[in-house]
């Protein structure tokens, strides 16, 4: 059974099957709503149900209790049980040329540390994939399964992609990287995806990364720096368990010398070396900022950090929920995108 989903303050409406999430239904009908993780963690697909009923899991990490009470839900999780009227941050007709699938050549595969690989991919000659700095691509495995990786290169370099990949124990793509992938090999990749990109404005910026969550932040910052010296204050907090998890610290250290408005704070949770900050990365932000009202926060990395940061920044430091942007590196593959 299909229900009609009407999008408030727009001329758009679409049909959505009862068992289909609103996000998938929109995609099938040829519309793009914002999304990133598709797993109920990042909050990118948040919107309001103005009228109608729907089913959604009770405890969604990407949705606060107050937001739920105010009628918000995550459209990657919500399935209609009646016709709906919804309010969304943005909606547009799907551009059939926006997402490209290419056979990318592995130009370079190196290790930053024992468990982080740096992969440089080159797209076929003459192929460029325009993307917003901060977005991610999907590696399509032989059986169609997918793994998502954020592009770390600035968006001005779109004839290839640089990835920072943390190896996880018994991970399928991690194992493939360890034992199979070498320079000269080809990987099927699809891009771009995601809603983690810098919004225009002049608010002070705080970036919070855990581990390879630095990758899309590097892309955002390098793209920004290419536009000239930043005038907005920018703080980067990059956390890991040990110093080796902050595997490219010399780069933000260089930025801190180069740009007066940029500060870099490495934070280690399991190593107290007397130099770097000790503790959890989001706790370092809490300690440094009595209030985050008037700031924008961009957080990327493991879901546990994202959830703690979102919760504490919005409930203890007055950060407005709509000033928190994130990409959550949820475990395992994400569902394949629906085809229209
Ligand atoms: C939007 C998005 C962007 C991402 N960008 C990056 C990126 O830039 N760099 C990066 O390193 N990863 C990134 N990830 C995570 C990445 O997509 C994979 O989940 C991860 O590389 C593991 O894939 P795998 O095939 O090796 O492991 P799988 O075969 O999928 O998993 C095997 C085992 O490892 C566990 N596992 C899987 N992923 C993780 C994890 N992240 N942490 C802890 N345990 C895990 C699983 O629970 C399972 O037990 C991103 C994820 C999303 C959703
Ligand atoms: S919470 Fe829905 S896309 Fe991340």
Question: Are residues 80 and 63 both part of a single domain?
Answer: yes
Provide the 3-class DSSP secondary structure of residue 119. Answer: strand
Which residue pairs, CB below 8 angstroms and at least 24 apart, start in 265-271? 265/235, 265/236, 265/237, 265/238, 266/238, 266/239, 266/240, 267/237, 267/238, 267/239, 267/240, 268/239, 268/240, 268/241, 268/242, 268/243, 269/239, 269/240, 269/241, 270/241, 270/242, 271/241, 271/242, 271/243
Residue 15 CB contacts under 8 Å (≥ 6 apart), including other chains:
2, 3, 4, 5, 25, 29
Starting from the CA of residue 332, give the closest ligand: 1
Q: Give 128 Cα–ligand 1 centroid separation in angstroms.
A: 26
Over the chain, what is the mean pLDDT? 93
User: What number is the average pLDDT over the span 36-65?
Assistant: 93
Give tens-digit pLDDT for 52-96: 999 999 889 899 888 999 999 999 999 999 999 999 999 999 988
Higher pLDDT, 313 or 332: 313
End position of a domain, from candidates 169, 193, 217: 193
For residue 219, CA distances in Å to 55, 106, 153, 161, 272 come to 37, 19, 5, 10, 29
Domain final residue pick, 93, 123, 147: 93
Q: What would the two tokens of residue 188 be?
A: 């099927």
pLDDT at 337: 45
Total-model pTM: 0.91
Query: Are 115 and 149 in a shared domain?
Result: yes
Residue 141 in any domain: the answer is: yes
User: Which of 19-28, 157-166, 272-281 shows the lowest mean pLDDT across its residues?
Assistant: 272-281
Q: How many angstroms does the Cα of residue 94 sit away from the middle of ligand 2?
A: 18
φ and ψ at residue 99, rounded to 5 degrees: -105, 125
Helix or strand (DSSP H, E) at 30: none
Q: Kindly state whether residue 333 falls inside one of the protein's structural domains.
A: no
The CATH number assigned to the domain holding 106 equals 2.40.30.10
Residues 128 and 230 in one domain: no
What is the mean pLDDT of the segment spanning 298-319?
95
pLDDT in tens, 194-244: 999 999 999 999 999 999 999 999 999 999 999 998 899 999 999 999 999
What six digits make up the tokens of 172? 């399928």
Q: Are residues 67 and 88 in the same domain?
A: yes
Q: Is there a domain that residue 288 lies in?
A: yes
Is 334 contained in some domain?
no
**pLDDT exceeds 70 at position 333:** no
Look at phi and psi of residue 301 and say left if phi exceeds 0, alpha if psi is from -120 to 50, else beta. left
Domain residue limits at 156 = 100-193
Q: Tell me, what's the pLDDT at 181?
A: 84
How many other CB atoms are found less than 10 A from the CB of residue 320? 13
Domain co-membership, 47 together with 133: no
Return the residue whose CA atom lies nearest to atom 27 of ligand 1: 171
Instruction: Tell me if 244 is assigned to some domain.
Output: yes
130 in a structural domain: yes
The verdict on 165 and 86 lying in the same domain is no
In a domain? residue 336: no
CB of 218 closer than 6 angstroms to any ligand 1 atom: no
- Give the CATH number for residue 51: 3.10.20.30
Q: What is the residue with the minimal CA distance to atom 52 of ligand 1?
A: 329
- Number of structural domains in the chain: 3
Ligand in nearest proximity to the CA of 43: 2
* Ligand 1 centroid from CA 309, angstroms: 20
Shared-domain flag, residues 250 and 286: yes
Burial label for 215, CB within 10 Å (0-12, 13-18, 19+), is buried
Here the CATH number for the domain that contains residue 297 is: 3.40.50.80
Taking residues 263-286, report their average pLDDT: 94
337 in a structural domain? no
Residues 146, 211, single domain; the answer is no
pLDDT at 332: 59
On whether both 245 and 131 belong to a single domain, the answer is: no
| Residues framing ligand 2 (Cβ under 6 A) | 35-45, 62, 74, 76
Taking the C-alpha atoms of residue 146 and residue 334, their distance in angstroms, rounded to an integer, is 7
The reply to whether 66 and 135 lie within a common domain is no
Identify which of 62, 324, 334 to mutate to test ligand 2's pocket (most ligand atoms within 8 A of the CB): 62
105 and 188 together in one domain: yes
Q: Which of 25, 42, 326 to mutate to test the pocket of ligand 2 (most atoms within 8 A of CB)?
A: 42
Whether the Cβ atoms of residue 210 and residue 302 lie closer than 8 Å to each other: yes
DSSP H or E segment with residue 76: none
Q: Which atom of ligand 1 is nearest to the CA of 39?
A: 53
Are 113 and 151 within one domain?
Answer: yes
* Cis before 192 (ω within 30): yes
In angstroms, the CA 340 to CA 337 distance is: 9
Note whether 155 and 198 are within 8 A (CB). no
User: Where among 93, 125, 146 does a domain terminate?
Assistant: 93
């Amino acid at each position: 059974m299909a229900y009609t989903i009407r999008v408030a303050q727009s001329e758009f409406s679409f049909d959505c099957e009862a068992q289909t999430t609103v996000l998938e239904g929109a995609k099938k009908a040829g519309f793009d709503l914002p999304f990133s993780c598709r797993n109920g963690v990042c909050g990118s697909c948040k919107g309001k149900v103005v009228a109608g009923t729907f089913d959604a899991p009770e405890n969604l990490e990407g949705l606060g209790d107050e937001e739920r009470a105010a009628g918000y839900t995550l459209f990657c999780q919500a399935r209609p049980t009646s016709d709906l009227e919804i309010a969304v941050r943005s909606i547009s007709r799907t551009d059939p040329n926006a997402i490209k699938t290419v056979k990318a050549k592995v130009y370079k595969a190196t290790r930053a540390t024992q468990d982080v690989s740096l992969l440089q991919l080159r797209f076929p000659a003459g192929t460029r994939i325009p993307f917003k700095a901060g977005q991610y691509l999907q590696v399509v495995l032989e059986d169609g399964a997918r793994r998502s990786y954020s592009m770390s290169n600035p968006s001005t370099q779109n004839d290839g992609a640089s990835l920072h990949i943390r190896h996880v124990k018994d991970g399928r793509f991690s194992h493939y990287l360890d034992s199979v992938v070498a320079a000269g090999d080809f990987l099927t990749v699809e891009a771009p995806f995601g809603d983690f990109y810098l919004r225009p404005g002049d608010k002070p910026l705080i970036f919070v990364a855990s581990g390879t969550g630095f990758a899309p932040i590097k892309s955002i910052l390098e793209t920004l720096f290419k536009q000239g010296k930043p005038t907005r204050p920018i703080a980067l907090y990059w956390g890991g368990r040990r110093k080796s998890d902050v595997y490219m610290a010399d780069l933000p250290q260089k930025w801190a010398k180069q740009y007066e408005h940029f500060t870099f704070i490495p934070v280690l949770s399991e190593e107290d070396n007397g130099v770097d900050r000790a503790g959890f990365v989001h706790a370092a932000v809490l300690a440094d900022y009595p209030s985050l009202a008037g700031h924008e926060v961009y957080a990327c990395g493991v879901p546990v950090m994202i959830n703690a940061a979102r919760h504490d920044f919005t409930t203890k430091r007055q950060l407005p929920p709509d000033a928190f942007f994130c990409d959550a590196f949820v475990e395992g593959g994400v569902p394949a995108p629906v085809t229209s």
